[in-house]
Amino acid sequence: MRILITGGAGFIGSHLAEALLARGDQVAVVDCFEPFYAEEAKRRNLAPALAAGATLIEADIRDAGALLGAVRSAGPELVVHLAARPGVGPSLEQPGLYVDLNVAGTVSVLEACRQAGVARLVVASSSSVYGLNRSVPFKETDRTASPASPYGATKAATELLCHTYAHLHGQDITCLRFFTVYGPRQRPDMAIHKFARLLTAGEPVKLYGTGSARDYTYVSDAVDGVVRSLDRVDGFRLYNIGSGRRIELETVVEELSKALGVRPRIEREGWQPGDVVQTLADIELARAELGYEAAVPFSEGVRQFAAWFLAQHGSTVR
């Protein structure tokens, strides 16, 4: 299958590109190396996929003409739309930028696919759409009208736009709600990566609020969810892609410290704006319709991340 991935130089996208190439798909990547974090890291992410035969088209998804040209040039049978401005906290500071990249950018992708005759898409959403929902585990049928951050609101808007295009233009679109994906190549702003930098520097880790817990999804499980969904795109669909297990934040620090071989120091702080107390995915629908099942235990996933982190930053810790 010919597949185009937007944001393919990112954390999930680069792993997905390699997985698709390994199974024999033709892969094109669209990325503008938007400077949310270092361009060098993104190019390093993508290097194995390029070496294995992927093609790179450097374009901004908000540039409608350039994106349409990229889609027509690649001639994909399916587009996986992962490009977005990530991060809950930063979205509080730059909400307009998040709307521009995540909402207007998604419209640009949907329009390019419509004009180029690409009728099948898989689109990244987020557990952030559940926002202030206190009923766990989160189900795809739960109300998503109370996001707790501009980032969550842009992802909810993304889903609504996908539904509209599926309805109006007959496109087959699957939206995947990812739950805190982690592993090698994880973005440096995300908690596990940030904790690793602090722990190896001998600095304290700040934990915000009390009782915070998340559903952590190892990157190979997230990629498996994408691959399973793209083989079954039909109509408009929504799926949770998580582990179905809730991990307390203290446990995250303990497991990561053990994997890095350091003793943790923890400092307590109050809740931050935009935070939610907990996330937990109900994955029954993905299990039933996609055959999806998270396979990597959290302790093993943290060990894999720690090995990658130490290889990237050196094995000497304080």
What pLDDT score does 316 carry? 46
Write out pLDDT tens, residues 281-305.
999 999 999 999 999 999 999 999 9
Phi–psi pair at 206, nearest 5 degrees: -90, 125
pTM here is 0.95
Residue 52 has pLDDT above 90, yes or no: yes
Fold matches, 2-179+219-241 and 191-213+245-279+295-313: no
Amino acid letter, 117 = G
CATH 3.40.640.10 for the 2-179+219-241 domain, yes or no: no
Write out pLDDT tens, residues 167-177.
999 999 999 99
Ordered by start, the domain boundaries in the chain are 2-179+219-241, 191-213+245-279+295-313
Residue 35 has pLDDT above 90, yes or no: no
Burial group, residue 11, by CB count within 10 angstroms (0-12, 13-18, 19+): buried
> Residue 288: how many CB atoms within 10 A of its CB?
9
Write out pLDDT tens, residues 196-254.
999 999 999 988 766 689 999 999 999 999 999 998 888 999 999 999 999 999 999 99
* Alpha carbon separation from 96 to 12, 92, 127 (Å, rounded): 24, 10, 21
Write out pLDDT tens, residues 78-117.
999 999 999 999 999 999 999 999 999 999 999 999 999 9
Nearest residue to 172 (alpha-carbon basis) of 180, 182, 162, 187: 162
Catalytic choice (98, 130, 151, 216): 151
| Pairing outcome for strands 236-241 and 205-208 | unpaired
Mean pLDDT of 260-266: 92
Q: Which residue has the higher pLDDT, 212 or 255?
A: 255
Nearest residue to 122 (alpha-carbon basis) of 209, 291, 7, 40: 7
Dig out the tokens for 237 from the structure: 């669909």
* Alpha carbon separation from 6 to 14, 60, 215, 264, 278 (Å, rounded): 10, 9, 25, 38, 29
Amino acid letter, 188 = P
Q: What is the CATH number of domain 191-213+245-279+295-313?
A: 3.90.25.10
Write out pLDDT tens, residues 137-187.
999 999 998 999 999 999 999 999 999 999 999 999 999 999 999 999 999
What pLDDT score does 211 carry? 63
What pLDDT score does 317 carry? 46
For this structure, is 151 an active site residue? yes
What pLDDT score does 206 carry? 87
